[in-house]
Amino acid sequence: MINLKKKNHKRKTEAFVDRFPIILLLQHNNLTVQEWFDFQSQLGQKKTALQFLTIKNSLLKGVLLNHSGSLYMDEKLHDKDKKKIIERLCQGPNVLIGCENSGELESIWRCLKTTTKCIFMSCFFEGKILNHLDVEILLKTHSTIYSTLLSHLDKKTELYHVLQTTLGLHPLLHLQRNLLGLLSLLKQSKA
């Protein structure tokens, strides 16, 4: 019976991860039932484009490791390093918030800034792992510009090679540090 329950939870979690192009991973600490209800109400869980999934760390780690091929991680990382990244993300009691479009992400982000009992751990955005700074940049820019830039860099296009020779060994690290300036230059060059 317990094994069947675990399999059902695993299938439910895998379906959740597969369904939503945007998933926020949060750690929630010491929430009372009323605070949890208020938090969900504030985010508007009634919307069909937004769903919550509370999950055990061990199950979440397993599902994310199985999906790590579809999540953006540096191809040069060894499997044990990928495992460390996933394990660091999944700490404490976790909840996943899945949304179907980036329009929902902004309201979720505003709500997260007002609560002290939910800690943002990561955002899985269209197959990529984003930290809090990436989410801020994404919300400040048009999402298609940011995702297009990342997809072009992922494809190892000529832009990637130009940046690699210009910026040295780790172009993505340099880009993340200076992405807002780069995006404004790209916008100016389009005008």
Domain end marker among 110, 131, 152: 131
pLDDT surpasses 60 at 48: no
Average pLDDT over every residue of 58-78: 67
**DSSP per-residue letters across 96-111:** EEEESSHHHHHHHHHH
Residue with tokens 């700074």: 133
Instruction: Give the total number of structural domains in the chain.
Output: 2
Between 146 and 106, residue with greater pLDDT: 106
- Looking at residues 99-125, what average pLDDT do you find? 84
Token digits for 186? Answer: 């790209």
Residue 32 belongs to a domain: yes
Question: Please, are residues 92 and 45 in contact by the beta-carbon 8 Å criterion?
Answer: no
Q: Are 148 and 124 in the same domain?
A: no
Global pTM reads 0.67
Task: DSSP letter for 60, please.
Answer: H
Residue 136 lies in a domain: no
Q: What is the extent of the structural domain holding 70?
A: 2-131
Show the 3-state SS of 108-155.
HHHHHHHCCCEEEEEEEECCEEECHHHHHHHHHCCHHHHHHHHHHHHC
Q: Are 55 and 27 in contact (CB under 8 A)?
A: no
Q: Is residue 25 part of a domain?
A: yes
Whether 59 and 27 map to the same domain: the answer is yes
Regarding whether 182 and 123 lie in a shared domain, the answer is no
Q: Does 171 score more than 60 pLDDT?
A: no
Q: Are residues 145 and 114 in the same domain?
A: no
